[in-house]
Amino acid sequence: MDEMQEIIEDFLVESFEMIDQLDQDLIELENNPKDLELLNRIFRVAHTIKGSSSFLGFDVLTRLTHNMEDVLNKARKGDLEITHEVMDVILESVDLMKALLEAIKDTGSDDQGIDIDRSVKKLEAVSNGESVANISVEQPKEESKQEESNEDYSHLSAEEVEAEIERLLTERQEQDRQKRQAKKQAQANPQASQEGEKKPEAIKEVIKKPEAPKKPEGAKEERVPTTSIEQTVRVDVKRLDHLMNLIGELVLGKNRLLRIHGDISDKYNSNTLSEELNQIVSSISTVTTDLQLAVMKTRMLPIVKVFNKFPRMVRDLARELGKNIELIMSGEETELDKSIIEEIGDPLVHIIRNSCDHGIESPEVRLEKGKSEVGKIVLKAYNEGNHIVIEIQDDGKGLDPEAIKAKALEKGLITDRDAATMSDKEAFSLIFKAGFSTAAAITNISGRGVGMDVVKTNIEKLNGIIDIESQLGLGTTLKLKIPLTLAIIQALIVGVQEEFYAIPLSSVLETVRISQEEIYTVDGKSVLRLRDEVLPLVHMSSIFEVKNDFGSAKEIYVVIIGLAEQKIGMIVDCLIGQEEVVIKSLGEYLKNIQGIAGATVRGDGKITLIVDVVAIMEMGKNIKVNLNKIIEEKQIEKANRSPKDFTILITDDSSTYRAIAQNYLQEFGVQTLEAQNGVEALEILKKNDCKVDAVLIDIEMPKMDGYTLASEIRKISKFRNLPLIAITSMNSKNDRIRGVEAGMTEYISKPYSKEYLIKIIKRSLKLEDTQKDDDYE
């Protein structure tokens, strides 16, 4: 990149930074036209951009900003009053300035057919104290072209026409060559470019742009403008994204290290090595967390980047609608991840346009209702844990729940029964349905009935929640709750058979443990009564079509998931715990799987799918599974089972003890399988060729001892309730405690009698006493 190109890029960055704040400053100036400090600040923006553009040869932009500067200078001197009409002209010029800067950014030139003549004429009229109402809309530039083309070529022959075209092309090429040569000379020797009175000033402004303009003598102390340029290093966003990905991998490594540390601590509790490892792991965990926060901070931008455009938008809408609207903003310094900043703008624009159009009443109506003539829209942002909350509140007419229900009935979105039982808050949520609108007349200001559903969809794509509260006649408040970043989140890890899923913690309201008797059935659907609420109940295995053993356990784990006013109870087999997970894309081929938002790698190195909460709540509404019926079928099946329906795995390295146990059990009537060590037993269980109902485990075995085997079995979700019966000569108190900690459910000391073994087996399998069983007592 050559030096001139770098100067142009610096000019564009500086100009865009100054213009970001300009709209808001101009609206503030319109409300406080006597604020000389604010006026000086705006004047300096126009002056700086004019000087820099003049030096760089952007003549169109220079001409526009020169005329803006004249108007603002007269206002500074008190020769011109800033009225609504004058501000309309200035704002129109600012829009053109933005368009010219975008043209320079895209093409390297401001001569791209953007017409500024009409705006310049208006600025000149304002500067001369004339009215702008009768400004001609004719385009002088086009007139001059027409004048140039007025020469009559009809008398020329074909050869003469060709020669004239060649002459004009040569003339234009020569002009272009001279312009390029002039730029190269300016680049090679900027100090020698002394042709115009404004050039040296422009050079100083470009090269010394960090220096603030000197204050005139006697001027009062100025506030530091929000457009001041900080001494910062500009970093390509792609580099930050790459750095964030590396941090994500580091977090995964940290989680893996914590998992290994936990396993070692369990095995060598009082070992010195374990204590040293604990110190190192704690230190690495702390540093990784700090580094993660630091990198995330580099991607953060103040939300003022989004808020800046709203004062101008509200001002223009108020004038168009004939209303008096005041926008009050707070929390502009609140920071969000850059990727979310880019996505949040459009939803906020639509919500605020709705507030202006449908919410705030006309001045006459407001006075009749005893309200202030000026309607207020409050836009504020603040942090709440790992989320940012954005509130948009207006003091308009509010939402009428009955009118919303009537419209929804008319469109067939709800039934009469739904309308009768629906709360006001549930009625408000209907405005997020596709195509829904209560507006009496369609306007171009707001959504035309295709907006609020898109707003909700966009917010939910960011893993956010949108909530609405309203009081008829008093106003409406919309609250958006959005995560600070989309890269790393806190999640609740749950198990469904052998599958594990991560549910974003921001959507988890609570977890409860219930009994089978607490599940009820309404209209063929299972529900849970939790305190004063009745929640739909769905097993996660039904959503993802995973085989499950529901009904065999007496206690059931339920995760209560919520989005705004909607809640659902999700049944899972087990709760693993809370973890910090790094979101990974599923790739091009798997990205559209319903109910799955992405994946992550957990501490044990395995892949865990991340749940799309919005999608599974929608999927759950369409699932009709009577859980009570499943429970009853399981109970009947268990009651009718006899010993021959059960299979027991005997795990012992001694062939003698295996033969003894096999004879006892076969005589009792149960089926048996054999394994010589823990590794072999684990392989038999994982193969799942036949269902194993209990495992007899010797403690002292080669390859894998009994304690380790029990621990490994308990890690498999479907075996968390499997009876594990220790058979060993190690029968001290410590041995028994260790067995219970590993997951053993019963403890039999060698040698043992046939009667005692059968008694323990019957208790573990919950078999009813029969006459046949009594023979072994």
Catalytic residue among 14, 30, 69, 205: 69
Catalytic residue among 14, 47, 335, 358: 47
For residue 653, the 8-state DSSP code is: S
> Residues 80, 127: contact at Cβ < 8 Å?
yes
Instruction: Please give the C-alpha separations between residue 656 and each of 622, 650, 653, 682, 753, in angstroms, as whole numbers.
Output: 56, 12, 9, 21, 15
Task: Please tell me the distance from the alpha carbon of residue 375 to that of residue 396, in angstroms, as a whole number.
Answer: 7
354 is catalytic: yes
Helix (H) or strand (E) holding 671: strand 671-675
Task: Please tell me the distance from the alpha carbon of residue 240 to that of residue 301, in angstroms, as a whole number.
Answer: 13
How far does CA 362 lie from the centroid of its chain?
Answer: 36
- Burial class of residue 286 in the structure, from the number of CB atoms within 10 Å of its CB (0-12 exposed, 13-18 middle, 19+ buried): exposed
Per-residue burial over 109-145, b = 16 or more CB atoms within 10 Å of its CB, e = otherwise: ebeeeeebbbbbbbbebbbeeeebeebeeeeeeeeee
Catalytic residue among 67, 255, 308, 354: 354
> Residues 327, 349: contact at Cβ < 8 Å?
no
> Residues 294, 286: contact at Cβ < 8 Å?
no
- For the CA atoms of the chain, what is the radius of gyration? 37
DSSP 334-400: -EEEHHHHHHHHHHHHHHHHHIIIIISPPHHHHHHTT--SSEEEEEEEEEETTEEEEEEEE-SS---
Give the HSE-up count for residue 366: Cα atoms under 13 Å, Cβ half-sphere: 21
> Residues 325, 375: contact at Cβ < 8 Å?
yes
> Residues 532, 541: contact at Cβ < 8 Å?
no
Query: Could you give the strand order of the β-sheet that contains 519-522, starting from the edge strand earlier in sequence?
Result: 508-515, 555-563, 566-572, 533-539, 525-530, 519-522
Coil, strand or helix at 448: coil
69 is catalytic: yes
- Longest distance between any two alpha carbons in the chain, whole Å: 129
> Residues 619, 607: contact at Cβ < 8 Å?
no
Which residue's entry shows tokens 């800067």?
A: 101
622 is catalytic: no
Instruction: Please give the C-alpha separations between residue 248 and each of 106, 396, 601, 609, 744, in angstroms, as whole numbers.
Output: 34, 45, 10, 16, 38
Which residue's entry shows tokens 């991840």?
A: 337
Helix (H) or strand (E) holding 470: strand 465-471
Give the amino acid at 357: D
Active site residues: 47, 69, 354
